[in-house]
Copies of this chain bind each other. A is one copy, B any other.
Amino acid sequence: MSKLYSPESAAIGVEQALRLLEGRWKLIILFHLFDGKVQRYSNFEKLIPEISQKMLAQQLRQLEADGIVSRMVYPQVPPKVEYRLTDWGQALCPALDAILKWAEKRKV
């Protein structure tokens, strides 16, 4: 943490934030957690059939590490794991909603 922040640090923050959303599947995953929805691992596999297990696990781990998604493990057999948005992740909902609306305008 020896690096000092310049007055332009806000702009840098945006680019850093964007990098957290990069990745072939992250936004798609987030759309399925939109609006407080809770998903299990196997749910995602059904919702996003094209994704491989590897990528699903990897992207979820990254989203978790970045504080966007929270992972809740129930210590039972068979295992049960739930994913939901963190508070900060919830703050993305307006953006997700705006992207949704934008996509719809394409058809017109």
Residue positions of A touching B, CB distance < 8 A: 10, 13-18, 21-22, 24, 27-28, 31, 88, 91-92, 94-95, 97-107
Copy number in this complex?
Answer: 2
Contacts of A91 in B (CB 8 A): 101-102, 105
Contacts of A92 in B (CB 8 A): 98-99, 102
Contact (A98, B94) CB under 8 Å given A18-B27, A103-B13, A104-B10: yes
A18 x B28 contact (CB < 8 A): yes
13 A-B Cβ contacts within 8 A?
A13-B104, A14-B103, A15-B28, A17-B102, A17-B103, A17-B106, A21-B99, A22-B24, A91-B105, A92-B99, A94-B102, A95-B99, A97-B98
Minimum CB–CB distance from A10 to chain B (whole Å) comes to: 7
